[in-house]
Amino acid sequence: MLPNELEYITSLKILHVQDYIKLKSLPTSMGSLFSLKNLNIRGCSSPLMAAIS
């Protein structure tokens, strides 16, 4: 799981997550990342990839 503390990085613009097989979902706190413009997720678990596509 990605840390819930991501919500405090309010100026985060780009997030790359790659080959994190154990990642099953994204934290709901990511909804507060208003500056996030680019989220790249590759090589993660199949359920996560299906949920975001």
Report whether 36 contacts 13 (CB < 8 A). yes
What was the pLDDT predicted at 39?
92
Question: pLDDT per residue over 1-53, tens digit each?
Answer: 788 898 899 899 999 999 998 888 888 888 889 999 999 999 888 887 887 76
What was the pLDDT predicted at 52?
73
Task: Give one word for 35, left, alpha or beta, with left for phi > 0 and alpha for psi -120 to 50.
Answer: alpha
